[in-house]
Chain A
């Protein structure tokens, strides 16, 4: 069975600082991995996805994530935080062959301070 662990339910960074949101996954087969962002009282928006084509994935709004099989990780980073990045971020995993089913982590709320 697939699962996702997001370390840190709340992360606070200063504007301009590095953003690092952690995600570790468990999967019995090669996974597909996703990062979504959710602003208050809204749906989820896809930031980026890993589909085995490249281990370093670039997404929207300056975010990127690196797939590390040896560490079963898919951490999300952004070099310089902006106030508009304050939101909740979800990591999700989908196993090949189970088309459609995503398993989500519990989310990390990012706070950006001046």
Chain B
């Protein structure tokens, strides 16, 4: 079955540690995205990548880093510089359907930092 997988579902870390969230897709999509979701704030874009070896900052990139070495994979690292890392993180991917880039989402990773 084609889709997007994120692992793990729940992740716990101590403050000051870097942590990497996994996102893999087998949809053959060119573009991939990372969002952060907090209660009452909707989804906010962290980083996105339209092709391999290239990515752009979103609206809240500070304290995060990404890589795109393979088309299928787009891991997100939450660094110790991120002041409030506890949140629900969603990965998405998209392919152009004509001019429209509808996005497909993974199941998410809930990160708790204490």
Interface residues of A (CB under 8 A from B): 9, 32, 34, 36, 41-46, 49, 51, 90, 94, 96, 99-102, 104-107
Q: Which one of A41, A43, A99, A105 contacts B101 once the chains associate, using CB atoms below 8 Å?
A: A99
Main SS at interface, chain A: loop
CB within 8 Å for A106 and B41 given contacts A43-B107, A100-B48, A100-B50: yes
Chain B residues in the interface with A (C-beta under 8 A)? 4, 31, 33, 35, 40-45, 48, 50, 88, 90, 92, 94, 96, 98-108, 110
Closest-by-CB residue of B relative to A51 is B100
Q: Given the complex of chains A and B, what is the CA–CA distance between A54 and B104 in angstroms?
A: 22
Contacts of A51 in B (CB 8 A): 98-100
Given contacts A43-B90, A96-B99, contact A101 B48 (CB under 8 A): yes
Q: Which of B40, B94, B103, B110 has most A Cβ within 10 Å?
A: B103
Distance of A106 from chain B, by nearest CB (Å): 4
Residue of B nearest to A49 (CB): B102
Give A27 Cβ to nearest chain B Cβ, in Å.
Answer: 14
- Contacts A90-B43, A100-B31, A106-B41 known; A43 to B106 CB distance under 8 Å? yes
Contacts of B103 in A (CB 8 A): 46, 102
**Which residues of B lie under 8 Å from residue A49 when comparing CB positions?**
100, 102
